[in-house]
Amino acid sequence: LARGAATGDLAGRHVVVSAGGTREPLDPVRYLGNRSSGKQGYALARTAVARGARVTLIEANTGMPDPAGADVVHVGTAVQLREAVLKAAAEADAVVMAAAVADFRPAAYATGKIKKKEGQEPEPIALVRNPDILAEISAERARPDQVIVGFAAETDDVLANGRDKLRRKGCDLLVVNEVGERKTFGAEENEAVVLAADGGETPVPYGPKEALADTVWDLVAPRLG
Ligand code: CTP
Ligand code: CA
């Protein structure tokens, strides 16, 4: 489908999706990373294009080719992701934060490769907090009627933790995944509950990431101003 297809419930809308996982460099050859594949974010971008939206995809370390019809911004770290999201969100109708953002980054970056020292234990790695992008864009909305969606992977008390996180982040919708074997990381399929700030709760049965993506847009579309 062509970009901004005239038909579809997202026609004329600009949506921003972040996908993948940030990498926080320690030195020129090493980083702290996570297992996010980016597949859910790509499914969100593809389905939004198919529904007529103008899509900005902010991609972090997925290694996947750019999806057709989306404007793609490539980033590496959480700080770079924040810059790109804030810029794109300034004129977006909806922002979906599907990326796994590193909570911490190394306090210092070594410009040369860190080397072993004979007979010595390694130095501990000091970390500092990264900015919370979702909380920031939710607290300072670029537009009052902008719809903001977060993701959360939880292992225990999935719904209670999800409700709590939705409130803390201040977003409109939170897609909560239960993490387990075969679920979420790198998988083709996903199972989730979408929690809404207005109290709504939409279960999404185990199935393709496209189906979850379409459910997200089904919930976003009627909330757009
Ligand atoms: N997120 C973000 N910036 C961060 C961390 C997370 O924007 N620095 C976003 C993620 O993209 C996701 C949502 O916040 O949409 C929830 O991420 P999660 O890691 O579950 O939340 P945290 O607040 O970091 O909680 P936890 O301590 O459980 O990791
Ligand atoms: Ca986190």
Give the CATH number, domain containing residue 23.
3.40.50.10300
pLDDT higher at 1 or 99: 99
Please give the pLDDT value at position 97. Answer: 98
34 is catalytic: yes
Asked whether residue 168 is assigned to any structural domain, the reply reads yes
Tell whether ipTM is more than 0.95.
yes
Q: Is residue 182 part of a domain?
A: yes
Identify the pLDDT of residue 190. Answer: 83
What six digits make up the tokens of 124? 């501990």
| pLDDT of 100 | 98
- At 61, the amino acid letter reads N
Residue 133 domain boundaries: 14-111+126-223
Residue 5 lies in a domain: no
Q: What is the largest CA-CA distance in the chain?
A: 67
pLDDT at residue number 225: 85
Place of tokens 């902010």: 58
- What are the tens digits of pLDDT across the range 156-215? 899 999 999 999 999 999 999 988 666 556 777 888 999 999 999 999 999 999 999 999
Q: Which ligand ends up closest to the CA of 168?
A: 1
Nearest residue (by CA) to ligand 1, atom 17, is 152
List, in sequence order, the alpha helices (H) in 142-208.
Answer: 158-169
> In this structure, is residue 79 part of a structural domain?
yes
User: What is the arithmetic mean of pLDDT over 127-137?
Assistant: 98
Query: Structure tokens of 41?
Result: 């974010």
101 is a domain residue: yes
Q: What is the pLDDT of residue 188?
A: 75
- Give domain status of residue 74, yes or no: yes
Q: Is 90 exceeded by the pLDDT of residue 134?
A: yes
> Beta strands 173-178 and 189-196: pairing type?
antiparallel
- What's the pLDDT score for residue 182? 60
| Cβ proximity of 77 and 26 under 8 Å | no
Q: Residues 30-77: pLDDT tens digits? A: 999 999 999 999 999 999 999 999 999 999 999 999 999 999 999 999
- pLDDT, average across residues 9-32: 98
pTM (whole model) above 0.80: yes
7 is a domain residue: no
pLDDT of residue 183: 59
Say which of 34, 130, 161, 190 is annotated catalytic: 34
Pocket of ligand 1 (CB under 6 A): 78, 97, 99, 101, 103, 130, 132-134, 150-152
3-state helix, strand, coil in the chain (%, to 5): 25, 30, 45
Quick one: which H or E segment has residue 32? strand 30-32
Smallest CA separation from ligand 1 atom 19, residue: 152
* Torsion of the alpha carbons at 107, 139, 133 and 99, rounded to the nearest 10: 150
The two beta strands, 94-97 and 14-20, are parallel
> Residue 184's pLDDT is what?
59
- Number of domains within the chain: 1
What per-residue confidence (pLDDT) applies to 191?
87
Q: Which residues pair with 196 in a beta bridge?
A: 173
Q: Is residue 3 part of a domain?
A: no
Count of Cβ atoms closer than 10 Å to residue 103 Cβ = 14
Rounded mean pLDDT of the chain?
Answer: 94
Segment 99-116, tens digit of pLDDT: 999 999 999 999 999 999
